[in-house]
Structure 1
Amino acid sequence: MTVSDDEWVGSMGAWSDTNLAEIRERLADGFDPGQRLFWLRSTPLHQAAQEGAVKVIELLLASGAEVDPADRYGATPLWEAVRHGQDDAVQLLLAAGADPWRPCIAGRSPGLQALFTELADLFTDLPGVPRISPRLRELQDTVDEMMFSYEDYNEGFCIAFVGGVAEDEVIRRLGAAPELCPPVEPGALWEAEHASPVELLRVASPPGGGVVLFQTEGVLPVHDGVARLVTAGGGVLAGAFPVTGTSVDIWRDGFNVGRPSVHEQLSEDSMLELWMCRFGDCGAHPSTSMERILALMTLLTATYVTEEWLWSAPVRLVPVRLRNASGDR
């Protein structure tokens, strides 16, 4: 069955170098190299830049494709090549005249983004390179260092960090009495949890501040009911499955205010913390999704944990009895 140009132009992997022969044939038959995908308004050059398909990029440019078109977000092919860490594509687009300093998203240019990644050397000697303040560089380096400190985190359970609420108050908001939830030593946790007729949530405060909620099985700390109760009187909760997931649930003052995903395209409205934690970066920076997720949770709540602390510190077991409301259990 023949696939139409409209269907083919947006199909997964259509603009990779492995499809070079078919792309050449379609262009020879009159296919427009600047054709737009209607839902993103991106072009084949955007797609090829993401793939790092240098042969396709060369062919599209030779066929008359514009080097710097913007999609619906404002991203150019060079932005996408930087975002996906495609250094060969970056070099080719720059050589073809792509503007490294053109503002694309939130006033940021592809070159500025690249200066904070392993692609920096491709931009540092270009005319017009912006000066990055020592303070901004120091701030990003600090966030990166914290991000990489989560490298050895390997737990697959859901975990939530809470900021702006004391541990006793978290317990009260969950409907329990703090005095009836004494700290339990790690060696006694399994027996205490399995002896309880109701689900228990582990609640503890790491040394640097904040509160951590987690449980190795059963109810999720970021379940709407838990998150709503914990933050309804003020405070912020950020929770995720950092090892296996790609997004963070963020709650403030009893409301879900966002669920950003690690590799989604950022926008004018994106929080600064998302930019600092490399959300939107699909390969230009060596950090993993897990490291970025935990770093964002830390930035939003001022709560930092180590895996050693998770398993060695006494925790309080809080009965979870969620109200029967919309979105709750």
Structure 2
Amino acid sequence: MTAVDDGWTGMGWDWTDHDDIRRRLHEGADPERWSGGRPLHRAALFGSPIVVAELAGRVADVDALEDGVTALWEAVVSRKPENARALAAAGADPWRPSIGGWSPGRLSLAGPTPGLFPVPAGVRLTDRERAAAQEAGRLLTALGEFHYEGTGLACVAGIDAAEAVRRLEATPVEDEVIDELLEAPYEYDMDESLRFIGVTSVPGGCVVTQPWGYAPQMPGVLARLSAGTVCYGLYANPKSGNQGCIARHGTVERRDLHPGGGPYENDAPEEVLSSYLYQYRAVAYSCAVAGLRPTDARAVVGPPDVWVELPDRDHWSH
């Protein structure tokens, strides 16, 4: 069966060339369909305001849905304020409820452009939402930007480094051992290198980290750390991206999460807000979920308060 040509053949991630978009539309490109999706949504994410306006003027419904959200939602969540303004000018509704009950307009009140749209009377953030947005700004600034690909960490609420070490029954490691390991961690046998982790106290709890592996996120480690509390595990997998999980009271409750991504269709309201505030910032997101308030990135990038060695046991089981 021959695929129907929708006129967008060869289009990738760049939707900024207005002349090319207009040419394609003039030659019959379908403004309602692109490779199973909608051109307006692609332009909202990857285009320019003039391209967004061009496509918005050619579709039957500027608020049509793709994967449950409007193009305006995509523009707001991806922090493309000029594209969002172009959509609103074309008639898109900033106050239409979407994922988790949030509208694009109300979500924008928590972001870097709270004045993006005229706000109707009575629409505002709650005190809790406003506090979450303020803490996100502080936390993102405190952590800054750093390379963390390949890093595993566990953010543990309510316990300090000493208590984490006690729960894990770990033992301190000589500096010489760690110095040698840090020089070339991937030259070591994986089973051997995974035994070594760093632990650091931060306001609100502690961070367990491993710059070269996933040990802090192993179920047995999370189960011990999360006894009587909550723990968010992250592994920045170089091959498949950020992988997250939540452990609570000694049990891993949720796996295969995507910290720094989303929001996703079935997210609860608080998850939508967190995903928006910490988009593409997986480490900050992990800290925030556990209620940690680090004042810098040392707990992740090192040096930690203490390097320890995990006991020889099966850390993949509880």
Question: Which residue of the partner structure matches residue 302 of structure 1?
Answer: 291
Per the alignment, do residues 206 and 274 of structure 1 end up closer, same or farther by CA in structure 2, a change over 3 Å counting?
farther
Determine the C-alpha separation between the residues in 1 that align with 2:28 and 2:148.
53
The yes-or-no answer on 1:146 pairing with 2:139 is: yes
Q: Note the C-alpha offset of 1:230.
A: 4.2
Are 2:32 and 2:39, in contact at CA under 8 Å, matched by a contact in 1? yes
Question: Which residue of the partner structure matches residue 286 of structure 1?
Answer: none
Per the alignment, do residues 255 and 225 of structure 1 end up closer, same or farther by CA in structure 2, a change over 3 Å counting?
same
Are 2:260 and 2:285, in contact at CA under 8 Å, matched by a contact in 1? no
Partner of 1:92, secondary structure, is helix
Per the alignment, do residues 143 and 279 of structure 1 end up closer, same or farther by CA in structure 2, a change over 3 Å counting?
closer
Question: Which residue of the partner structure matches residue 113 of structure 2?
Answer: 119
Map 1:177-326; keep pairs closer than 5 Å.
Answer: 181=171, 188-191=174-177, 198-199=192-193, 200-217=195-212, 220-228=215-223, 230-231=225-226, 233=227, 235-240=229-234, 247-252=242-247, 253-255=250-252, 257-258=254-255, 259-270=257-268, 272-273=270-271, 275-276=273-274, 278=276, 281=279, 289=280, 292-305=281-294, 306-308=296-298, 311=302, 314-315=305-306, 317-323=308-314
The yes-or-no answer on 1:18 pairing with 2:17 is: yes
1:1-33 superposed Cα distances (whole Å, 9 cap, x missing partner): x9853594795237x132643x44543454432
1:30-64 superposed Cα distances (whole Å, 9 cap, x missing partner): 443223754xxx42111111123333333323434
Per the alignment, do residues 155 and 102 of structure 1 end up closer, same or farther by CA in structure 2, a change over 3 Å counting?
closer
Counterpart among 129, 150, 154 of residue 160 in structure 1:
154
Amino acid at match of 2:265: S
Are 1:35 and 1:44, in contact at CA under 8 Å, matched by a contact in 2? yes
Amino acid at match of 1:264: G
Amino acid at match of 2:274: M
Amino acid at match of 1:255: V
Determine the C-alpha separation between the residues in 1 that align with 2:101 and 2:135.
23
Determine the C-alpha separation between the residues in 2 that align with 1:80 and 1:87.
10
1:52-105 superposed Cα distances (whole Å, 9 cap, x missing partner): 3333333323434421112232x1111112122223222221111111111122
Are 1:79 and 1:109, in contact at CA under 8 Å, matched by a contact in 2? yes
Are 2:198 and 2:305, in contact at CA under 8 Å, matched by a contact in 1? no
Partner of 2:91, secondary structure, is coil
Per the alignment, do residues 129 and 90 of structure 1 end up closer, same or farther by CA in structure 2, a change over 3 Å counting?
farther
Task: Tell me how many residue pairs correspond in the alignment.
Answer: 301
Are 2:41 and 2:70, in contact at CA under 8 Å, matched by a contact in 1? yes
Counterpart among 100, 103, 107 of residue 106 in structure 1:
100
- Calculate the aligned-residue CA RMSD, in Å: 4.0
Question: Which residue of the partner structure matches residue 55 of structure 1?
Answer: 50
Question: Which residue of the partner structure matches residue 284 of structure 1?
Answer: none
Q: Note the C-alpha offset of 1:189.
A: 1.9
Question: Which residue of the partner structure matches residue 97 of structure 1?
Answer: 91
Determine the C-alpha separation between the residues in 2 that align with 1:236 and 1:82.
31
Structure 1: gaps spanning 5 or more residues? 282-288
Determine the C-alpha separation between the residues in 2 that align with 1:24 and 1:103.
32
Determine the C-alpha separation between the residues in 1 that align with 2:299 and 2:127.
33
Answer with 1 or 2: which has the greater Rg: 1
Counterpart among 132, 137, 144 of residue 125 in structure 2:
132
**Sequence identity percentage:** 26
Question: Which residue of the partner structure matches residue 40 of structure 2?
Answer: 45
More moved, 221-230 vs 80-89: 221-230
Amino acid at match of 2:133: Q
From the two aligned structures, give the one with the greater strand fraction: 2
Determine the C-alpha separation between the residues in 2 that align with 1:163 and 1:144.
20
Per the alignment, do residues 45 and 173 of structure 1 end up closer, same or farther by CA in structure 2, a change over 3 Å counting?
same
Determine the C-alpha separation between the residues in 2 that align with 1:219 and 1:69.
41
Are 2:165 and 2:199, in contact at CA under 8 Å, matched by a contact in 1? no
Per the alignment, do residues 278 and 269 of structure 1 end up closer, same or farther by CA in structure 2, a change over 3 Å counting?
closer
Are 2:231 and 2:246, in contact at CA under 8 Å, matched by a contact in 1? yes
Amino acid at match of 2:97: P
Q: Note the C-alpha offset of 1:298.
A: 2.1
Amino acid at match of 1:82: V
TM-score relative to the length of structure 2: 0.74
Structure 2: gaps spanning 5 or more residues? 182-188
Are 1:69 and 1:76, in contact at CA under 8 Å, matched by a contact in 2? yes
Q: Note the C-alpha offset of 1:315.
A: 1.5
Partner of 1:257, secondary structure, is strand
Partner of 2:222, secondary structure, is helix
Determine the C-alpha separation between the residues in 1 that align with 2:16 and 2:297.
42
